[in-house]
Structure 1
C-alpha cells in the first residue's frame, strides 16, 4: 500500500523537513521585524493658504519655490484679506508633497506604491458662529503631478472633483471659549493605487457657492486645514517583493512535481489532492510579483488586482481547510466529492463575493475618481462598517466551526486507535506513526487558521481606522505581515511535500504476509480502490477485524 509521503517518510527525514520549514518561518518573522521598516508612514501636512482674486481653475497654485509661489497669507484673520475683499472662492489651500528635508527637495519613489490622503480641519470655537455636531464640508479639490526634468511650474492634472464630506465636530463644555478648537473627525480625501510620479500638488477650495447653491455655511470659523498623507514604505515593499520573488518559483516547481506524481497513479486524483493543487495555484497567483511592473508602468489598478488575488487565495484556503478536516473526519460518510461540501463551500464563496462587491464599490470607482469614498454618507459608512464587522464575525465563526471539526477528528482518531490492537506489530507501529504525524499537521492547520483569521481582522481594522476615525491602539508590524505571508507559503509547501503520493510500500513480515494482506483489504475504503489511497483515510472508513 503506497499511500502519501507523510505515511512512509522516515522519522529522521520528517524531522529534517519540519526543522527546515520552522527555520524558514522564523526567518520570515525576523526579516519583517529586523530588516523591514514599518509597512506605512504618515506625513501630516499643514496647508499653505493662498489667495487669488482672479482665480483660474486651470492654473496650479504651488508654495515652492519662492519664485513660483502663490500669494501666501498666514491666517484667515489677516487684514489683507479684508483690504483686498478676498472671499472664500478666492482662497486656495495648497499641499505640495513630499515636504523638503534639511532644505533639500525630496521625491517619491515608485517602491512606495500607494498614496492616501486623510483630511482634518482646525475649527475655532466662536459663540457667534457655532458648528453643528454634524455638518457637510464641500470641497473643490484638484490633484496634479510633476516629474524630475519637468519645468518647476509644469503640473499635469491627475484628478479633479467636487466632493462632499460629512464632518462631525464636538467640544467639551469647559472648552467652549474663544481660542479653543473643536475636536473634528478625520475624513478620507483621496486614494491612489499607484505612486508613479515624483512630486504631487493638491489644491483645495472651500467655496461658499457651487452651481448657484450655498455650501459650507455651517462649518464655523475655520483656522487651518491638514492632510495626513499615508504611503507604503519603499523598504517594506522591497522586502515584500523579495519574498514573492523567492516563493514564486519554488512553489511553481513543487506544483509541477506534485501534479506529476498524481498523474503517474492508476486512479483519478482524489478530492483532497485536487484541493491541495487548487490551494497551490491560488497561492502561486498571489506570489506572482506583479509589483515589479509599477517600477516601469503606471498601474493605478494594482490595488484592485491585489485585492482580487488576495480574495481568491482566501477562498481557496478557507475551502481547503473545510475539505481537509472533512476528508479526515473518520466517520462512515463518503465525502470524496465536492457535492458533499456544497453548503460549507457556498458560505465561503458567498462571503468572498460579498467582500469583492464591497471592495469594487470603492476601489473600482477610485480608478476613475481618486476622490471618491464610500464613507462620505451615513448610508455608505454604515454599510462599510457593517461589512467589516460582519466579515470579522464570519471569520471568527468560521474558525470556531473549523476548530469543532478538528476536535471531532481528534475524538474519532482516539476511538479508531482501539482497532490497532488487532494488527501485527509492523502495521500497528506504522498506523501509530501516521496518526501522530496527522495530529501534528492538524495542529499546524489550526495555528495557520488562527493566524490567518487574526491577520484578516487586524487588516480590516488597520485599513478602516483612519476612515471611521477611531483611535485604536494597534501595533501592526512588518513582522506580522511577513510572518503570516511566509506561514501561508510554508504551510502549502508542507502539504505539497507530505501529501504527494509515495512510491514506497510498507515493509511486510514474511510470516505475517497473509495477515497483513487481510488487514490491507479490510482497511480499504472500497473494494476496488487502488492501493495508493491514504492509509489513514482507509483506517477511518472501516474498523479492523478483531
Structure 2
C-alpha cells in the first residue's frame, strides 16, 4: 500500500517544496509590511461637559458637543459649583469621529477605552475598591442635519484602579492620580457615519452611588478602529486564499477517495482542518461593508475557535498515531455574545472576568510557546527521518548590514516604510494557510505503487518479484494497517531498530 506523499518524496523535491512555501510566506509578510497601512488607528477624545437637567435622562434628548445644535457647556466643575449646577445635571458628550470627518464601514469595528482625570483632595479621596457608575447612551445618524437615533442605553459599572505617587497631604491637593485605562464600548460593525455618546455620573448618597471616587475633572475616550486600507488588503488576501485552500482540499479528498480502503481517522481530521481553514478564509466580511452586521466580531471568534479546535484535534490524533507507531515497533501493538445587545459590556469590567481573561491569555501564551517548540521538534524529526545525513551547505556570503529605525509599529528602511504590525497580521494569516496547505499536500496518499499487488495480505514472494522487477521498496512506520502489522512489518521493524 502506498504511503503519504511526504514519505515518498526525495530530499531534492522536499527542499523545493519547502523553498516555495517559504517564498509564499515571505510574500505574505511583504503584503502587510509594504502594501497595507497600519492595521488600526487610535483617536483621543476629550468629553465635553454639557448641562442637562436630570429629568431628561429618560427622554430622547441628545447633547451635541459642537455644531449648530451644540449643548450648553461648562469648562470645569468649579464653574458648575459657582452656577449651582448639580453633578446629576452634567452630561459628558463625545462625538465620533471628530468634526469634518465621518466613519466608514471599512473601519469594521469601534473599540472605545475610557480614562478619568481625577484630582487628589484630602476631603474627597478615592476609596479602596471604588466603583464608578455610568449612565450611558449611544446614538447614530448618517448626515449632519437628521435626528439622532438611539442605538444602545445601559447603566454600567467600572472599578477604578488609581495610584497617587505623592504624599497624601494638603500640600498635594490638586495633583492628579495615575489611573488605568478602562474598557468602555465595542461595536462590531461601523454601519453609520456619525456616533454620539452621552455619559452621566449620577450621584445618590442614599444608595451610595458614585461616592468615594475622587474629584473627577475630565473624561478621556480613546476610539480605536481598523484602517480602511488595511481592511481592503485583508479582504483581498482572504479572497485569494479561499479558492487556494478549497482547491487543495478537493484534490486531497479526491486522492483519499481513490484508495481501495475507507479513510482513516487522521485523514478525516486533516480534511476537517482544511474545511475549518476554508471557513475562516471565506470573506463574508465583504457583506459587513453594506450591512449592519454587529455580530461580525462574535462570528470571527467562532470561526477561529472552530479552526483551533480542529488544529488541536489534528495534533492529538497525529501525535497519538505517531506514538502508536513508535510503540508498535517496540511493543508489537500490545500496548473571542452579550455585546450583541449591550456594546458597553466588557469582561474586563469585573474582577472575576479580568482574572479569567488574563488566565486565558497567559494560558494561550504558554500553549503557543509549547506548540511552537513541539512543532520545531516535529519538523526536526521529519527531516531527520526522511533526509538522513545531509551534506553541509556551502558557506553563505556575508550579508550587508541594514540600518533601520523602529518607530511606533513600523520600520524606516532606507526610503521605504515597513508596517511591522500589518506584516505580522498578514504574515501569520498566510502562515496558517500555508501550514494547512502543506499538511494536506504532504500527507495526501501517494500514487506510487510498490510491488504488483497492494492488498494488506500480499505474500512475500510477490514482494520479491517486485524487487526483481526493479521497483524500489520503501517501508515506513507511518502506514496504518487495518488488521494490524504484518509479520514482514514486524521483522523489518525489528531489523531497523537493530
- TM category (shorter chain) comes to 0.7 to 0.9
Structure 2 vs 1, CA of residues 167 and 539 (structure 1 numbering), >3 Å: closer, same or farther?
Answer: farther
Q: Distance in 1 between matches of 2:108 and 2:491?
A: 52
Give yes or no for contact 2:451–2:466 (8 Å, CA) kept in 1: no
Corresponding residue for 1:497?
A: 441
Structure 2 vs 1, CA of residues 539 and 159 (structure 1 numbering), >3 Å: closer, same or farther?
Answer: farther
Bigger proportion of residues as helix: 1
Structure 2 vs 1, CA of residues 233 and 136 (structure 1 numbering), >3 Å: closer, same or farther?
Answer: same
**1:264: how far off?**
1.1
Corresponding residue for 2:287?
A: 293
Flag structure 1 segments of 5+ consecutive residues without an equivalent.
335-339, 341-358, 415-431, 438-474
Corresponding residue for 2:174?
A: 179
Q: Distance in 1 between matches of 2:493 and 2:264?
A: 15
- Alignment of 1:152 with 2:145, yes or no, is yes
Structure 2 vs 1, CA of residues 221 and 544 (structure 1 numbering), >3 Å: closer, same or farther?
Answer: closer
Corresponding residue for 2:403?
A: none
Corresponding residue for 2:186?
A: 191
Q: Distance in 1 between matches of 2:440 and 2:246?
A: 11
Structure 2 vs 1, CA of residues 513 and 395 (structure 1 numbering), >3 Å: closer, same or farther?
Answer: closer
Q: Distance in 2 between matches of 1:505 and 1:378?
A: 62
Give yes or no for contact 1:332–1:541 (8 Å, CA) kept in 2: no
- Alignment of 1:70 with 2:78, yes or no, is no
Corresponding residue for 1:37?
A: 37
**SS state at 1:313 partner:** helix
**1:377: how far off?**
2.5
Corresponding residue for 2:201?
A: 206
* Counterpart pick for 2:313 among 308, 315, 319: 319
**1:178: how far off?**
2.8
**1:280: how far off?**
0.6
Structure 2 vs 1, CA of residues 12 and 160 (structure 1 numbering), >3 Å: closer, same or farther?
Answer: same
Q: Distance in 1 between matches of 2:221 and 2:176?
A: 17
Structure 2 vs 1, CA of residues 519 and 228 (structure 1 numbering), >3 Å: closer, same or farther?
Answer: closer
Structure 2 vs 1, CA of residues 199 and 539 (structure 1 numbering), >3 Å: closer, same or farther?
Answer: farther
Q: Distance in 2 between matches of 1:77 and 1:383?
A: 41
Give yes or no for contact 2:322–2:478 (8 Å, CA) kept in 1: no
Q: Distance in 1 between matches of 2:492 and 2:320?
A: 12
How far does the alpha carbon of each residue in 1:418-441 deviate from its partner, in whole angstroms, 9 at most, with x for none? Answer: xxxxxxxxxxxxxx65x689xxxx
Alignment of 1:360-379 (within 5 A): 364-379=337-352
**1:6: how far off?**
2.9
- Alignment of 1:20 with 2:20, yes or no, is yes
Give yes or no for contact 1:116–1:192 (8 Å, CA) kept in 2: yes
**1:523: how far off?**
7.9
How far does the alpha carbon of each residue in 1:73-130 deviate from its partner, in whole angstroms, 9 at most, with x for none? Answer: 211112xx34542101111101001013xxxx11111111111111111111222222
Q: Distance in 1 between matches of 2:29 and 2:376?
A: 25
* Counterpart pick for 1:244 among 220, 238, 258: 238
Q: Distance in 1 between matches of 2:478 and 2:91?
A: 78
**SS state at 1:95 partner:** strand
Give yes or no for contact 2:451–2:465 (8 Å, CA) kept in 1: no
Give yes or no for contact 2:140–2:149 (8 Å, CA) kept in 1: yes
How far does the alpha carbon of each residue in 1:265-317 deviate from its partner, in whole angstroms, 9 at most, with x for none? Answer: 11111333222211111101111111111011111111111101101111111
Flag structure 2 segments of 5+ consecutive residues without an equivalent.
330-334, 391-418, 453-462
Give yes or no for contact 1:120–1:185 (8 Å, CA) kept in 2: yes
Q: Distance in 2 between matches of 1:269 and 1:328?
A: 17
Q: Distance in 2 between matches of 1:68 and 1:309?
A: 44
Corresponding residue for 2:460?
A: none
**1:505: how far off?**
3.7
**SS state at 1:333 partner:** helix
**SS state at 1:134 partner:** coil
Structure 2 vs 1, CA of residues 506 and 107 (structure 1 numbering), >3 Å: closer, same or farther?
Answer: same
Q: Distance in 2 between matches of 1:524 and 1:221?
A: 70
- Alignment of 1:170 with 2:167, yes or no, is no
Q: Distance in 2 between matches of 1:402 and 1:60?
A: 56
How far does the alpha carbon of each residue in 1:138-191 deviate from its partner, in whole angstroms, 9 at most, with x for none? Answer: 11100111113xx52511111111111111222112585133111112211111
Structure 2 vs 1, CA of residues 538 and 56 (structure 1 numbering), >3 Å: closer, same or farther?
Answer: farther
**1:27: how far off?**
0.6
Give yes or no for contact 2:108–2:188 (8 Å, CA) kept in 1: yes
Q: Distance in 2 between matches of 1:306 and 1:98?
A: 25
**Could you tell which deviates more after superposition, 374-383 or 321-330?**
321-330
TM-score w.r.t. structure 1 length? 0.73
